[in-house]
Amino acid sequence: MLGTDTLAAEVTHVSTHGFWVLLGEEELLLPFSKFPWFRQATIEQLTTIEWPTTDHLYWPLLDIDLSVASIRNPEKFPLMSAASANPALQGNAPQAARP
């Protein structure tokens, strides 16, 4: 019986600056400065990684999806949101004056 081809991604190294993911023959660095949502992740969270398609990585324990293209060229994918920040939810927001 023929099986389904699967892609295997592997985290090969973790440092205080980032971590490296091996995708087939290519190893990519994800520096925490460019991918800050991984900074506080545990080793288990970082190394539990899925590669469902050639341009899609998924960390199920973190619920993070990334395009491989965004790792190769992070400057083309700025960390910006079209939504405006809600100042009431920000930790440094000034408190409203009470009457």
Question: Using one digit for the tens of pLDDT, what is the confidence trace for 11-49?
Answer: 999 999 999 999 999 999 999 999 999 999 999 999 999
Q: Which of 57, 51, 73, 40 is nearest to 5 (CA)?
A: 51
Task: Return the SS3 of 36.
Answer: helix
Those residues whose C-beta lies under 8 Å from the C-beta of residue 36, and which sit 6 or more positions away, are 79
pLDDT at 93: 46
CATH class of the structural domain 9-76 = alpha beta
pLDDT at 6: 63
* pLDDT of residue 5 exceeding 50: yes
Confidence of residue 77 (pLDDT cuts 50, 70, 90): confident
Contact 19, 28 (CB under 8 A): no
Task: Return the SS3 of 55.
Answer: coil
Contact 38, 19 (CB under 8 A): yes
